[in-house]
Amino acid sequence: MDTSQDMPATMDNSLTLPVAHEGSSSPRIDCRNIKVFYGEAQAIHDVSMTFPDRAVTALIGPSGCGKSTFLRCLNRMNDTIENCRVEGEILMDGENINDADVDPVLLRSRVGMVFQKPNPFPKSIYDNIAYGPRIHGLANGREDLDAIVEKSLRRAGLWDEVKDRLAAPGTGLSGGQQQRLCIARAIAVQPEVILMDEPCSALDPIATARIEELIDELRNRYCIVIVTHSMQQAARVSQRTAFFHLGNLVELGDTNQIFTNPREKRTEDYITGRFG
Amino acid sequence: MTDAVRTPITSAAAAKHLKRRRAADGRFRYYGLSAIFIALGALAVLVFTIGAQALSAATYHVVRYDITLDPAVVAPDGAGEPDQIARNVDGFYSLVRDNLLATFPEADADRDSRREVSDFVTRLAVLPTARMVARNPELVGSAISLKAPLNDDLDLYLKGNGVRERKIKAGAIETVLAEADGTYRVSGLGAFDPVVAGLAVASADRDADAVQMNVLLTAGVSTGRLTGISAGRARLELLTGQAQDFANARPTARIIISAESERTISDRQIAWTLALKEMGRIDRAPRMTLLTNSDSTYPELAGGLSAIVGSLLTMLITALVAMPIGILAAVYLEEFAPRNRVTEFIEVNINNLAAVPSIVFGLLGAALYINFLGMPRSAPLVGGLVLALMTFPVVIIASRAALKAVPPSVRAGALAVGASQMQTVFHHVVPLAAPGILTGAILGMARALGETAPLLLIGMVAFVGDVPRGPTDESTVMPVLIFSWSNNAERAWEPLTSAMIVVLLAFLLLMNGLVVFLRRRYERRW
């Protein structure tokens, strides 16, 4: 992997992006005035932000601040929640994904997601990866599918560990392996964006370190959005960080800047551990 | 200072409270155990009583008749057409009757005794043999051993539950003298002492002015009735056999503790039965006919085949209707339907439907299927549809519980890779819920299998002598057959009913076993 070559460009890209949405260098996702309601209660208040391509954006904030809810807007997983309503525009390639004529099924094949708890299907390792390509018809025949499975597992850094037991159940792997399997499953459908909802919160530090390494590698190809409770993790893996509090986007900026020189008092209080 | 264990309990009141809590724990465990023992005890009593009854019906007595298939009787018109032989029940029956009359010449004396000897075997009992000969016409003219079940009352008598009697070994008989009136004077020193003592005990057991108790004396194949019994002598009225058999023998006396008029079998029939047994012509055989014969008005011929086939056909219809409807409804309600007033209303009413007494479904079935749609009465088709109405709320409730138990993370995972909702449900959720869904469906079916009341109302209670060939044929089912048999007056039906209950329980156990098997199998997959 030629990370060393890609890295400066990506960093450059994220640094040049303005905080507000001006769209001069065409961000991967552009959110405008997002409001989310659960019934009468408003969970997200008028959030506007952009997500650059080939970079990791971390969403941090105390529990219940709406960062997961906001993340789920990006692949319309909130659709599956009863009486959840999303307002505002989320532009991907200039198209508002909240439009009625956008098929959430197609959207989710472009925006993969990894969950807090590893949730491999109770099927074989192979079938876990092959399921997405199969239902989307991405593979022409068995060999093609085998290739996709191998490539996805290699990218997720799991191939060497499971190549001899692809027929074994995915649920039999360790927690960290399961989570990497879920990441492989997400990248098997060739998404452009990968959403991660606290992907390491159920893992031990060693498995966490492996996932973080993996995220760092995946950054070269995808736009990654990660929700995390760990400030250290946000500092380690992300290039940009957004701080949410009580459903508001308090501060968005370069990760270094957020952690070393926050502009907002609330951000400073949170990252120094005064609340949260 | 060494305070090994620090405890928050410092005051006497707190210690007392702790003691009370422990006692409450112990008591609760004791209540739980006693509840389990009561349940197990009830089950054991049920199994024991039914099993003991059924065991006596598991075997029956079969009499062997060595007959020659006289062509003039078996195929009177000489053609020997299989159809005619099979239908010639009268011919075969007359062969059996003649055989009996030849064995017991005294039975030919008058109409009454001819009738009594004819009771040994029912006409229809020769049907299997007639059919067998029809299939093998070359047997006509040869000698065969025809086996036919013994009359149910005599069968019960041989099993010891028909007629109460006291069996006593008499002393040695020394002389047998013929009297002028055709009876015999039998005597021996103290030969009848045990009989006199036995009579005294038997009278004491019953009311003092008890009905007259007959005493039968049996030696070998000969049996006579004793009167005027004293210690050393008695008058013997020969019922069957030869008086000489009693000379120098130690015969068996039977004190029959009910008057002949109160019994379903006469002294003579008992005498002949004992004689046949002595000749070795009566065997106790397993009653396979319980599973291979159809219903009959004669208990010794009755079997449950038509009811078993009827039950299977009914269950087939129920499964074909209730399982797809129930499972699809559950999947829709659980996975697709929006939560609103309408679905809530539907939900409540499905739960209500599951609680509706089954006889109401019978009324509905009679009105809807038979009166309105004009479907045939007494048919497994209608029975199955009625039971399906009853079963599918149960299937829906069980399936919804199983679907609810599938973790939401599986749905989220499938949706996140871009599966449509239907793909999510049918590729991931339903397979995971399948063991639970199947368990619910099979348990619902098992409940339907044991259902009687709704089927009574659609006419499945009719007497059905033929095995139904299809779902529109007249038919009955196992629980209804049990109900019908238990209503029959003759005592022989009682053990037979228990035996049929055991057959039904076996089917239910089979279905529950299937549930366990499916569960294990599916759970072993991952």
Ranges in chain A, pLDDT < 50: 1-25
What chain B residue is nearest to A185 in terms of C-alpha separation?
Answer: B417
Q: Which residues of A touch B526 (CB under 8 A)?
A: 122-123, 169, 171
Segment B15-35 mean pLDDT: 94
Q: Which residues of B touch A80 (CB under 8 A)?
A: 411-412, 415
At B2, the pLDDT band (50, 70, 90 cuts) reads low
pLDDT of B225 above 80: yes
At the topology level, CATH places domain A3-122+192-271 in Rossmann fold (3.40.50)
User: In a 10 Å sphere around its CB, with 0-12 CB exposed, 13-18 middle and 19+ buried, how is residue A46 labelled?
Assistant: middle
What does the alpha-carbon distance between residue A140 and residue A162 come to, in Å, rounded to a whole number?
Answer: 24
What per-residue confidence (pLDDT) applies to B5? Answer: 65
pLDDT tens for each residue of B127-140: 888 888 888 888 88
Q: Do B341 and B454 belong to one domain? A: yes
What residue spans of B59-137 are helical by DSSP H? 71-74, 82-87, 89-103, 111-118, 127-135
User: Rg of chain B over CA atoms, in angstroms?
Assistant: 34
Q: Are strands B222-227 and A223-227 parallel, antiparallel or unpaired?
A: unpaired
| B60 domain-assigned | yes
Looking at residue A38, what is its pLDDT? 93
Please report whether residue B269 resides in a domain.
no
Residues A106 and B418: beta-carbon distance below 8 Å:
yes
Query: Which residues have C-beta within 8 Å of that of residue A162, sequence separation ≥ 6?
Result: A125, A153, A168, A173, A177, A181
C-alpha closest to that of B526 among A66, A102, A172: A172
Q: Please, are residues A227 and A71 in contact by the beta-carbon 8 Å criterion?
A: yes
Same domain, B339 and B449: yes
Look at chain B and report how many structural domains it folds into.
Answer: 3
Tokens of B288: 């396979």
Min CA distance, B409 vs chain A (Å)? 6
E strands, B281-433, in order: 282-286
Residues B114 and B79 in one domain: yes
Predicted local confidence at residue B232, as pLDDT: 85
B420 contact A CB<8A: yes
- Would you list which residues of chain A are within 8 Å, Cβ to Cβ, of chain B? 75, 77, 80, 82, 105-106, 108-109, 112-115, 117, 119-123, 131-132, 135-136, 169, 171, 182, 185-186, 188-189
Q: What is the pTM of this model?
A: 0.81
Shared domain for B242 and B312, answered yes or no, is no
Residue B75 lies in a domain: yes
Among the partner residues A105, A136, A171, nearest to B526 by beta-carbon distance: A171
pLDDT tens column, A218-230 = 999 999 999 999 9
- At residue B79 the predicted structure's pLDDT band, cuts being 50, 70 and 90, is low
Is B390 in the same domain as B456? yes
Is B407 in CB contact (< 8 Å) with chain A? yes
Determine the Cα–Cα distance for residues A149 and A144; give it in Å rounded to an integer.
9
Q: Are residues B55 and B128 in the same domain?
A: yes
Q: Which residues contact B149 (CB under 8 A, 6 or more apart)?
A: B60, B61, B62, B63, B121, B125, B155, B289, B300, B301
Q: Same domain for B175 and B313? A: no
- The C-alpha atoms of residue A108 and residue A110 are separated, in whole angstroms, by 5
Cβ-defined contact of B417 to A135 (cutoff 8 Å):
yes
Report the chain A residue with the minimal C-alpha distance to residue B408.
Answer: A119
What does the pLDDT average to over B273-277? 93
Tell whether B104 and B215 lie within a shared domain: no
Is B524's Cβ below 8 Å from some Cβ in A?
no
Higher pLDDT residue, B191 or A164?
A164
Determine the residue among A74, A108, A193 to mutate to test chain B binding: the one whose Cβ has the most chain B Cβ atoms within 10 Å: A108
Residues 6+ apart with CB under 8 A from B170: B191, B192, B194, B195, B217, B250, B251, B252, B253
What is the average pLDDT across B100-122? 88
pLDDT at residue number B207:
59
Count chain A–chain B contacts defined by CB atoms under 8 A: 68
Which CATH number does the domain housing residue B471 bear? 1.10.3720.10
Nearest to A131 among B407, B417, B432 (CB): B417
Which of B233, B262, B291 is the endpoint of a domain?
B262
Domain range for B500: 305-525
To the nearest whole Å, the CA of A268 is away from the closest chain B CA by 34
Q: Residue B351: inside a domain, yes or no?
A: yes
Of B413, B427, B432, the CB nearest to A119: B413
Cα distance between residue A3 and residue A186, in whole Å: 21
| Cross-chain residue pair A171–B412, CB shorter than 8 Å | no
CA distances from A70 to A201, A243, A252, A255, B354 (A): 18, 12, 14, 19, 43
What value does the mean pLDDT of chain B take? Answer: 88
Residue B229 lies in a domain: yes
The residues pairing with A249 across neighbouring beta strands, listed in sequence order, are A244
- In this structure, the answer to whether residues B241 and B205 fall within a common structural domain is yes
Boundary (domain end) residue, out of B210, B230, B262 = B262
Residues B168 and B258 in one domain: yes
Q: Is residue B15 part of a domain?
A: no
Q: Phi/psi of residue A133, each to 5°?
A: -55, -35
Contacts of B3 (CB under 8 A, 6+ apart): none
The pLDDT tens digits for B322-346 are 999 999 999 999 999 988 899 999 9
Query: Do B311 and B439 sit in the same domain of this protein?
Result: yes
Query: Residue B127, SS3?
Result: helix
B340–A contact, CB cutoff 8 A:
no
pLDDT bracket for residue B72 (50, 70, 90): confident
User: Would you say residue B14 lies in a domain?
Assistant: no
**Chain A residues with beta carbon closer than 8 angstroms to that of B427:** 131, 135
* Domain shared by B145 and B168, yes or no: no
Instruction: Pick A82's closest partner by Cβ from B339, B412, B415.
Output: B339
Residue spans per domain, chain A: 3-122+192-271
Output the pLDDT for position B3.
Answer: 54
Of B409, B411, B418, the CB nearest to A108: B418
